[in-house]
Amino acid sequence: MAEHQAMYATDEYGRPFIILREQAKKTRSHGVEAIRSHILAARTVSNIIRTSLGPRGLDKILISADGDITVTNDGATILGQMEVEHPIAKLLVQLSKSQDDEIGDGTTGVVVLAGALLEQSEELLDRGIHPIRIADGFERACSVAVKQLDRISDRVAFTPEDTTNLFKTAKTSLGSKIVSKEHDQFAQIAVDAVLAVADLERKDVPFDLIKVDGKVGGSLADIKLIKGVLIDKDMSHPQMPSTVKDAKIAILTCPFEPPRPKTKHKLDITSVEEYEKLREYEHDKFQEMIRQVKDTGANLVICQWGFDDEANHLLMQNELPAVRWVGGPEIELIAIATNGRIVPRFEDLTPEKLGYAGIVRELSFGTTRDKMLVIEECANARAVTVFVRGSNKMIVDEAKRALHDALCAVRNMITDNRIVYGGGAAEISCSLAVSKAADEIPTIEQYAMRAFASALDAVPLALAENSGLSPIDTLAEVKSRHVHEGNSALGIDCLGKGENDMRKQSVYDPLILKRQQYLLATQLVRAVLKIDDVIAAGEAEE
């Protein structure tokens, strides 16, 4: 049909975008035809991302308007940087973002599932089934699938001493990332970082205590976990000591500058005596500030603002090392890590407000003379920093994103230690359960439920396709084994290990990740099926 046809065009950066026929003709479609055009737009976005699913998924190069290049296979990043105009395509972008915000992982899977559900909806619309009945059937099927997830889930035990199961979960999350070559090391660091800050009794992981930083140079294998804070700054004067032991840190958000008259009037200096007087006043003020800091017993100053050469020189003369231009979030992290207080005025500085760290040292890199400051053995030992290295900025950024997903996967396990098995095993099991439930329903919703079961199969099909296997044959074989062997852990052998049992391959997905994927995808599809018209602001009725 003419409404279904789409034209591909590229912008000046070579990025493809889609012009739907009805957009090109500026016509307005109503009812079922509008829903079809919405489904087409959403499916197009879903198909772009589909090839990035799984451990053998392919990466995408994203070019920003400024010409910056990002190479990634992270669903949320791809969709976040794609410029989509169609309102329904924008809903898919928000879907991946909400999965990212809530769970932190599984962003590609949720969009693939939503796209598959919309594809199935289109077939049901062709058969004359009303969109609301389809939406109701999907809702019913989703509740069956979520109950099946609970049934097939396993509780896995872990302790701070035995973190094997957390390690396997982190490894599964990293399997599809660019860092998979070093994924044992990355997985271990993700587990160690989360356990360092986690409160296991309350099942709480404060992510603001974990900082992920990166620097170009070295290889991915050079990743380090620092029990403390790392900031991309160095001492303000090259002759200041590069190491401070037993550091008592004054954390300031006030500048090392003489106070200025808060008026709009200007000060005219007409003689040498007046200039000398002003210089002396400034010098005395600097000395007073340094004395106020030294009187509290501080031996290191970390300041949010800068200070001029004179203040810098005086600090060095008074043997008071200082770091300047430290950003707001980093200042907060240093305050949390060292149990210090952020002080807005020199007059408020007291010994009780100082932060403490066992050692503060500068870290140098290669021949570039780049330096960073490491604050270790802090009073609050829970704050940690993961320091990532890589051969270029693109790899460092992707490694950071991969690590974020792994940290979220471990966090999810601490929140709820139930897992389901990956590799499409959970989807196949839920698909079979939904098909079985559909057979017992006399109403028209049974068609929608069977369509939901077919949509769930889209995930293992995409995994098989991306791994170079024959999708339909592989899925049929695994599905048959599910029925005959009753083993819900059988999935797609993406890595060619000759073993379909995901329990033996240790491919673990947190239960809350899968449940959230199903619920969010179903909610989105239900919303799309209820939209029968798009009215742009200021558009006149024809």
Give the integer Cα–Cα distance in Å for 292 and 52: 58
Q: Give the residue among 410, 411, 389 at the shortest CA–CA distance from 400.
A: 389
DSSP string, 83-130: ---SHHHHHHHHHHHHHHHHTSS-HHHHHHHHHHHHHHHHHHHHTT--
How many alpha carbons fall within 13 Å on the CB side of residue 4?
7
Burial of 21 (C-beta count, 10 Å sphere; 0-12/13-18/19+): middle
Paired strand residues for 387: 213, 224
What are φ and ψ of residue 537, in 5° steps? -60, 135
Give the integer Cα–Cα distance in Å for 28 and 59: 36
Q: Report the SS3 class of residue 341.
A: coil
Active site residues: 74, 107-108, 405
Q: Is 451 left (phi over 0), alpha (psi -120 to 50) or beta?
A: alpha
Give the integer Cα–Cα distance in Å for 376 and 358: 6
Yes or no: say if 253 and 345 are a contact pair by the CB < 8 Å rule. no
Give the integer Cα–Cα distance in Å for 113 and 443: 25
